[in-house]
Amino acid sequence: MSAAERVLEVEGLAFAYPDGHQALFGVDLRLHRGERVALLGPNGAGKTTLALHLNGILSGGAGQVRVAGLPVEKRTLKEVRRRVGLVFQDPDDQLFMPTVAEDVAFGPANLGVRGHDLEHRVHEALRRVGMEAHADRPPSHLSYGQRRRVAVATVLAMEPEVLVLDEPSSNLDPASRRELAEVLLSLDLTLLMVTHDLPYALELCPRALVLDGGVVVADGPTRDLLCDDALLRAHRLELPFGFDPVRAGR
Amino acid sequence: MGAGHTHALYRDGRSPLHRLPPQVKLVAALSFVLLVVATPRTQLWAFGVYLVLVLAVAAVGRVPLRTLRTGLLLETPFVLFAVLLPFLSRGAQVEVLGVSVSETGLLAAFNVLAKATLGTLTSMVLASTTSIRDLLKGLERLRVPRSLLAIAGFMVRYLDVVVGEMQRMRVARAARGYDPRSLLQARAVAASAGALFVRSYERGERVYLAMVSRGWTGAMPDLGTPAATAADWARGVVLPVAGAAVCTAAWVAAR
């Protein structure tokens, strides 16, 4: 596998918050172009902290992050943030502009896109998540599932190379969950999905990583990891009652 | 919750007033109100003419009288203050309905009341024919600093979210049997207010992270509001020009 095909590389990443709480203790991971990978782990494992490093929101600890070969550092932040699209857990945090279309335009406008190009990007991003009919509505008038899909569109409009989603299925009803899964599967993008929703990880991501205690403790095909009872138990991961990863989706 | 808060005043429509660019309406409304305020209070007739002008504009914008009447409730504190003036002021006394009140006080009360009413009606007409988003866009065209507009926009956007959180906390208090009957029991409300503040503060930080993640570097992007045409401005100046004529006439008559 050549270096060019590695879209995301994390090497020896360690990080402690200013209050002294150390969240990451040397994380290594590699994502290849077009891969869909689930980052699994219990609450407090450092998943969100890791996600915030991927576009340089957090930095300053040991180790390095490279996005399509470009190291994440101060002078590359703008390009890194274009390449890595981060979708936050609460869509109300992500959608802050008065209308859906203006919110989707926010990212590309910050990149200097204007006029027809901007309109085209907004329309295209909303089309990809099936929300083009709601372009002129205020985000507060949308359902939670619709807001989550718009949040994905706000990042798609920046034409990223990697999409990083923080708990994409949280608080969604089953129909919204399925709709979001359909949207995510239709995207031709490298995807890193931070979650503790194991069936969702299995449905969307052929490969999974387990993060616990600030290190990657397992990396492999999602189905294999979910079948490893001892591994799941050791890291506070649990399958929902009655869920059989061997038979699911086959 | 939801829709009610942000668009309580705005009424969707396609009237000529709705179609006028927001920056034109803002300038027209503000200059009209300034003219009203600058009119000498002794010229009572002038305020009658202003009222006719505002109601005519409201008719063009198809703003129902009911909406205007509801809006006047906003004025209540000023009315209370105005009612006190004739009793508190000194000087020549006049008899009104058998009660002796100050003449200057009466005039001052009328002055406050008339100007506040006209100002409120004008803003009501503006608010019922212009959405909040258009108002912000109009202000942007009028070169109001974008960071101020961003703050106003965030307020509009998050008002519903914060009010929603507040209501959920109120329901949660009530669900645990909280039924305050005296001020001594207000502690739970104060604690909730504190929790709400912390939650909102944390949300602010998360919103900031989301903005930075999408390449924000301190400047809000241009919303791309189209410029108003000369014809728009020509329509927009009708109200202020009429107001200026009344104001001038009132000053001439007052000399």
> Could you tell me which CATH number the domain at A3-234 has?
3.40.50.300
Per DSSP bridges, beta strands A215-221 and A162-166 are: unpaired
- Written in H, E and C, the secondary structure of chain B is CCHHHHCCCCCCCCCHHHHCCHHHHHHHHHHHHHHHHHCCCCCHHHHHHHHHHHHHHHHHCCCCHHHHHHHHHHHHHHHHHHHHHHHHCCCCEEEECCEEEEHHHHHHHHHHHHHHHHHHHHHHHHHHHCCHHHHHHHHHHCCCCHHHHHHHHHHHHHHHHHHHHHHHHHHHHHHCCCCCCCHHHHHHHHHHHHHHHHHHHHHHHHHHHHHHHCCCCCCCCCCCCCCCCHHHHHHHCHHHHHHHHHHHHHHHHHC
Three-state DSSP state, A185: helix
Q: pLDDT tens digits, residue range B236-247?
A: 999 999 999 999
CB A240 within 8 A of CB A199: yes
pLDDT greater at residue A195 or residue B80:
A195
Domain spans of chain B, in order of start: 8-139+227-254, 145-213
Q: What is the CA radius of gyration of chain B?
A: 23
Alpha carbons B84 and A171: distance in angstroms, whole number: 55
Provide, as residue numbers in chain B, all residues whose Cβ is less than 8 Å from the Cβ of A97: 153, 157
Report CA-CA distances (Å) from A212 to A44, A200, A234, B4: 8, 19, 9, 45
Q: With bands split at pLDDT 50, 70 and 90, how would you rate the model's confidence at B8?
A: low
pLDDT tens digits for range A115-141: 899 999 999 999 999 999 999 998 988
B64: alpha, beta or left, given left = phi > 0 and alpha = psi -120 to 50?
A: beta
**According to the model, what pLDDT value does residue A49 have?**
93
pLDDT for res B4: 39
Contact B46, B69 (CB under 8 A): no
- Report how far residue B135's alpha carbon sits from residue B21's, in angstroms, rounded to the nearest whole number: 9
Q: Which residues of A touch B (CB under 8 A)?
A: 52, 55, 57, 78, 81-82, 86, 88, 90, 92-99, 102, 105-107, 109-111, 114-115, 118, 138-141, 154-155, 158
Q: What is the pLDDT of residue B246?
A: 94
pLDDT digits (tens, 9 = 90+) for A226-236: 999 999 999 99
CA distance A237 to A63: 27
The ipTM of this complex is: 0.85
Q: Give dist(CA A164, CA A86) in Å, integer.
A: 5
Mean pLDDT of A206-216: 95
Residue B219 has pLDDT above 80, yes or no: no
Average pLDDT over residues B214-237: 83
Contact across the interface for A111 and B215, Cβ inside 8 Å = yes
Structural domain spans, chain A: 3-234
Would you tell me how many other CB atoms lie within 10 Å of the CB of residue B69?
11
Q: Is B88 on the interface with A (CB under 8 A)?
A: no
Report pLDDT for B91: 72
The per-residue pLDDT of chain A, averaged, comes to 93
How many CB pairs below 8 A link A and B? 82
